[in-house]
Amino acid sequence: MEGHEEERLCGKWRVACGLYSYNLRDVFTWRLLKTIVMGQILSLLICGTAVSCQYLAEYKVETPMLQSFLNYTLLLLVYTTILCTRKGDRNILQILKNKWWKYLVMGLADVEANYAVVKAYQFTTLTSIQLLDCFVIPVLMVLSWFFLKTRYKLVHFVAVMVCLLGVGAMVGADILAGRNQGSTSDVMLGDGLVLLSAVLYAVSNVCQEHTVKNLSRIEFLGMMGLFGPSSVAFS
């Protein structure tokens, strides 16, 4: 009886932690491999963007809005044009009539997130920005829990706690480094901008997931191309 009781408790613990006995063939599928490869390519592109922003900051080139404006302009030329050619309920006029304010909020969140993180390169280091940007993960989990009704296991919450500890350690290290160099206020401002951008990115990503899954990818990118440049110009 004790053996069965222990096995039952272990089973409950594994379920709570999200640890199941999966068949490796069911886990390592072509779809998973494609997702991993695309994720690594995206990470490489983001890394290139970060290094470029760092070089621009070192040469005193302060153009955070211009850098974002070019991205949104490309979306405007491609995906917004596609929306303009559609007919019926999927036409851009119908979308604006029913959901213009939603995409306006998404556009503002995305633009301000990009602005904050690019601006942060003028005050703090590339390493700090990349590590502090992970703060988007716990914020994203909270927003997904309430708005997307996503449920997580114990192992996810443990990972988030580790992430938050890392964020706290990084901020503390930056404060000490800035104190030694006599520029604590600038470092704190840079870290604060990164954390602000992480919150805004989380809002944008939750809206993006909801839109892409329930509507379409082209609609989301097209409306970002429409409201992105206008939000940049307004800012």
Is 173 found in the same domain as 77?
A: yes
Model pLDDT, residue 200:
93
Model pLDDT, residue 155:
84
- Residues of the chain falling short of pLDDT 50: 2
Residue where one domain finishes, among candidates 61, 77, 101: 61
Is 51 found in the same domain as 135?
A: no
Model pLDDT, residue 203:
92
Tokens, residue 2: 């004790």
Is 44 found in the same domain as 79?
A: no
Q: Look at the chain and report how many structural domains it folds into.
A: 2
Cα separations (Å) of 137 from 200, 205, 206? 12, 11, 11
Is 91 found in the same domain as 164?
A: yes
Model pLDDT, residue 125:
79
Model pLDDT, residue 206:
92
Asked whether the beta carbons of 113 and 200 are under 8 A apart, the reply is yes
Is 104 found in the same domain as 25?
A: no
If phi > 0 it is left, if psi is from -120 to 50 it is alpha, else beta; for residue 22 that is beta
Is 218 found in the same domain as 118?
A: yes
Under DSSP, is residue 124 helix (H, G, I), strand (E, B) or coil?
Answer: coil
Model pLDDT, residue 187:
77
Is 92 found in the same domain as 53?
A: no
Is 227 found in the same domain as 154?
A: yes
Q: Kindly report each contact of residues 141-147 with a partner whose C-beta sits within 8 Å and lies 24 or more positions away, as own/partner.
A: 143/202, 143/203, 143/206, 144/206, 144/209, 147/206, 147/210
Residue-number span of the structural domain to which 132 is assigned: 63-234
Asked whether the beta carbons of 72 and 235 are under 8 A apart, the reply is no
Is 197 found in the same domain as 142?
A: yes
Model pLDDT, residue 27:
66
Is 110 found in the same domain as 189?
A: yes
Tokens, residue 149: 């009704």
Residue where one domain finishes, among candidates 33, 61, 89: 61
Asked whether the beta carbons of 196 and 173 are under 8 A apart, the reply is no
Looking up tokens 């995906």 gives 79
Residue where one domain finishes, among candidates 29, 61, 93: 61
Read off the pLDDT of residues 170-224 as tens digits, 9 standing for 90 and up: 777 766 766 555 556 777 888 889 889 999 999 999 998 888 888 888 889 999 9
Model pLDDT, residue 129:
82
The DSSP letter of residue 77 is I
Is 70 found in the same domain as 47?
A: no
Is 175 found in the same domain as 80?
A: yes
Tokens, residue 113: 């997130």
Neighbours of 206 (CB within 10 A): 21
151 burial level (CB within 10 Å; 0-12, 13-18, 19+): exposed
What's the longest Cα–Cα distance across the chain? 72
